[in-house]
Structure 1
Amino acid sequence: MRKGYWIATVDIAEPSGYLAYVKANATVFETYNGRFLVRNGEKAVVEGNFRSRMVVIEFDSYSRALECYQSPEYQALIKLRAPHSQADIVVIEGYLDL
């Protein structure tokens, strides 16, 4: 079964407000077996435009990744995040069955 991934790029306007989202999201991702592969860090944008923060989260399957995003628990977290940031999030199926 192919894994599923969230790829998110985020600009944070108000770090102290965004912190509530960061603190609360671990429980939701744990519930859906989400695992952070990338949570910002050093980067070099070598082509195109990106937001200031990049996150990649791995899930057991594409359907599980979608289920997490669409869950009532995560939808509540969007309300914590949205006033303090701008985000682009893609849910994508992995290439190989691992």
Structure 2
Amino acid sequence: MSSTASGPPGYIVAEITVSDAETYEEYVERSGTVLAAYGARLLVHAFSSAGDLIVKEGGRTFERLIVVEFESLERVTEFYHSQDYQQVIGLRQSSAQSHVYHAAGVPPEAG
């Protein structure tokens, strides 16, 4: 996804450890629809159990790493605070321990 004239892309980065798989899967299904409506693109969905997520420094332990790209950080904020997402966020919060970050990407001209 390329950045818009308003600036660099925005990202959600989440470190997730699931405690209730059934509820978390419901969250994934329902939040996926909302993500699509906001033009989000899943870039990373890595699992430590599959060997595609390896923590090299810092000693943090979590099951999965998720990175989602949006056209801008403003779009991330719109998504996160939308009524549709707020209706499903509780499913994640009740079924997993999460560290969630919103971050601005690097403008294309800086790369």
* TM tier relative to shorter chain: over 0.9
Residue 53 of structure 2 aligns to which amino acid in structure 1? K
Are 1:12 and 2:23 an aligned pair?
no
RMSD value, Cα: 1.3
Return the match for 2:9 from 3, 14, 29: 3
Higher strand share: 1
CA distance in 2, matches of 1:56, 1:29: 12
Identity of aligned residues (%): 32
Question: What secondary structure, in the 3-state scheme, does the structure 2 residue paired with 1:83 have?
Answer: helix
Query: In structure 2, what is the Cα distance between the partners aligned to 1:76 and 1:45?
Result: 32
Q: Which runs of 5+ in 2 are unaligned?
A: 1-6
Q: Which structure has the larger Rg over C-alpha atoms?
A: 2
| Structure 2 residue corresponding to 1:58, chosen from 37, 50, 69 | 69
Q: Which residue is 1:96 aligned to?
A: 107
Partner secondary structure for residue 104 of structure 2: strand
Which residue identity does 1:62 align to in structure 2?
Answer: L
- Structural mapping, 1:13-92, within 5 Å: 13-41=19-47, 42-48=52-58, 49-92=60-103
Gaps of 5+ in 1: none
The number of aligned residues is 98
* Structure 1 stretches of at least 4 aligned residues deviating more than 2 Å after TM superposition: none
What letter matches 1:47 in structure 2?
E
**1:43 CA drift (Å):** 1.4
How far is the alpha carbon of 1:47 from its aligned partner? Answer: 0.3
